[in-house]
Chain A
């Protein structure tokens, strides 16, 4: 363990010393660049690549898993603290709601060489973001455990339940299933996935009126509860990181987790036997549906509106350099599913590729979706704990959402 860590540190030091010279300088003469981004390996690689072309511009970056909490206040300030924000489907919405990001059409025309059309996020005909990687949640399984018990790789959540029950009955593992069910954002995300898998709609068409208190909502909750029953009893405190640890300790044989975490699951750290037996497959479907119970996500960059044009230009040039960088994509092929030209998907990107093939839906980019997500995260907990009925839980979600939506002026 220690040796591999030392090696890693050495390599990253070498990378810091000599790595940048490998990238072409984009000859940016002035301006200051300050980027806010989430914290996972692929984003670090992306920002590092952008840094390689900063020229004589100032370059700062903040990687934080708390990026959502900082983004809106920091970009509301004028001038904004950050010149760019790496956002995703959900986190671009509050920026759009508050009118904090600028259209990129002119910059794309001028400096966007090599960026593919499919990378452009256009809203109402204007380019608002440039995507560079895709993400989703999908199934991971332990090949050795499934083989030993003669279980086929599950394709539906019903099969996941059956397989987990079989593993538990065999006495091999007490809690064979894991997913990030931590009360709050994570748990709500699991609901969103499962509800979409059931073919549910969150709002009455064309309005901000909630519509989750229906048979599909109830079925969603019941499935979540079944899966929770097969998970470690502490599931309400487990986020992605915690279940990753559970997996690496060999306590779990089936897991729903982000594709962007596959890199750290399959690296040389930890038990080699478990790593070798860790296999990826697409997201599961549920209740006989065709589309997977998962949502597709993109990560892309947006530019702050409240910042000078010169800074925006410098920032765009640096980030565009990374967003069309074939060398980065080739070097970091196993860190993410890049949307950039020249990407050759490896074994770690099976999950996302499968999800796209199965026509998974993107996470809903609606202005009021964040409020629904927030209400879900706290109001369905008591159902999972067995303290209230599914109907009551869904009624609570709708009521909590409506109060918040009224305060925000959506209803």
Chain B
């Protein structure tokens, strides 16, 4: 496609992207550099049905003046980014000096909310993404080998996990693994341990969420792989059969190289999706044991009666940076291949 045609073709999408993705990101970025003005408080008498007390409130007269002058708040630079609830630079320095062993240091660092969430998010990504690719590929291969007559219903059944809304899917599983649910109760019987609870143990909660993630995301990989498998040319495959290549050899040397670009694509999308893991944490009520970066943002915005825009914005920006870092190797590789292909 000539560049000019491409430009006009892309223009509407590009504009929409700038409007709905670019500008909000810039606005979030700006917000992350600001904190609230210093609160002017005053002592007042408060009375309610249970009696009167002397208490403090925010002095609205004085505060509203400051707010009008600078509606964005107080410029804070990277203050929010480095505070204890985010990168915690100061605290980490202190831990480094105060702790004796490296293990102790790691314990202290992973006790900080941002790093706690980062570790869960990365663990989730690293376990879910490869398994989704593998499982999706295996299902696609198997379904491709099934006779055409039952393929339709089988495909429908396979993509069901993706059709089910993530929140509903996780809630269903949540009830099943309850100590009195079908999976939970049977596990207790199998393990002969009446105190076994998938929800109370941190490790088991992580495993549950990861398994749920694989279950939910595999159909996406499967659909894309299945479509790609339809484009594998039959001649080399037949030639390989005549040459006596085993099934595994055919997959390894013909099918995989052919669909390789698609694998990259699925890996990219899957990594991006998994880095933003959020719904299962809510669905499984797993806030206590598993927090992800997206959950931190949500927590700052809604879980407190005071909305922490600065904190939420800073975590959002760092999530974007995190995704960029994670995708960098794949992107660089694709770019290089693109260059050599030209």
- A-side interface residues toward B, CB under 8 Å? 68-69, 72-73, 89-91, 93-94, 96-97, 99, 118-125, 131, 134, 174, 182-185, 206, 208, 232-237, 296, 298, 339, 356, 360-362, 365-367, 370-371, 373-374, 377-378, 381-382, 385, 387-388, 392, 396, 399-400, 402-404, 406-410
Contacts and interface: CB of A to CB of B under 8 A. Distances in A.
B144 interface: no
A237 B199 contact: yes
B194 A94 contact: no
Given A125-B45, A131-B49, A409-B74, A236 B56 contact: no
B46 A407 contact: no
A373 B304 contact: yes
A377 B287 CA distance: 10
Contact of B46 (A118, A122, A134): A122
A407 B111 contact: no
Given A362-B48, A400-B85, A408-B306, 17 more contacts: A97-B58, A99-B64, A123-B46, A174-B194, A183-B285, A233-B179, A234-B178, A234-B200, A236-B289, A361-B50, A370-B306, A373-B304, A373-B305, A378-B299, A399-B84, A408-B39, A409-B35
B227 interface: no
A234 B299 contact: no
A404 B50 CA distance: 30
Contact of A371 (B57, B197, B289, B306): B306
A339 B178 CA distance: 40
B63 interface: yes
A408 B287 contact: no
Given A124-B44, A371-B306, A410-B39, A385 B288 contact: yes
Contacts, number: 167
Interface in B30-44: 35-39, 41-44
Contact of A183 (B50, B56, B80, B287): B287
B36 A408 contact: yes
A381 B306 CA distance: 21
A234 B304 contact: no
A409 to B, nearest CB: 4
B163 to A, nearest CB: 26
Contacts of B57: 96, 123-124, 367
Nearest to A120: B47
A134 B305 CA distance: 20
Given A97-B306, A296-B50, A400-B85, A378 B113 contact: yes
Interface residues of B, number: 57
Nearest to A339: B49
Contact of B288 (A73, A97, A99, A381): A381
9 contacts: A93-B305, A99-B60, A99-B64, A123-B46, A206-B56, A235-B200, A365-B55, A381-B288, A406-B83
Contacts of A399: 84, 91
B123 to A, nearest CB: 17
A381 B116 CA distance: 13
Nearest to A90: B305
A236 B199 contact: yes
B186 interface: no
B39 A367 contact: yes
B305 A402 contact: no
B202 interface: yes
A90 B306 CA distance: 11
B297 to A, nearest CB: 14
Contact of B85 (A361, A367, A403): A403
A378 to B, nearest CB: 7
B308 A377 contact: no
Interface string B294-315: 0000010011111110110000
Contact of B56 (A367, A377, A381, A403): A367
A25 B256 CA distance: 76
Contacts of B179: 232-234
Nearest to B80: A407
A96 B305 CA distance: 12
B6 interface: no
Nearest to A404: B308
A73 B222 CA distance: 41
B102 interface: no
Given A182-B285, A233-B197, A235-B200, A407 B310 contact: yes
A366 B63 CA distance: 16
A236 B44 CA distance: 38
A75 to B, nearest CB: 12
Nearest to B67: A99
B194 A184 contact: no
A408 B76 CA distance: 11
A94 B305 contact: yes
Nearest to B108: A392
B20 interface: no
Given A99-B64, A406-B35, A407-B308, A119 B49 contact: yes
Contacts of B76: 407
Contacts of A365: 46, 48, 55
Contacts of B50: 134, 296, 298, 356, 360-362
A362 B48 CA distance: 9
A400 B113 contact: yes
B197 to A, nearest CB: 4
A74 to B, nearest CB: 12
Contacts of A118: 49
B67 to A, nearest CB: 9
Contacts of A121: 46-48
Contacts of B113: 378, 400
B49 A403 contact: no
B63 A99 contact: yes
Given A362-B48, A367-B58, A408 B305 contact: no
B308 to A, nearest CB: 6
Contact of B304 (A366, A370, A387): A370
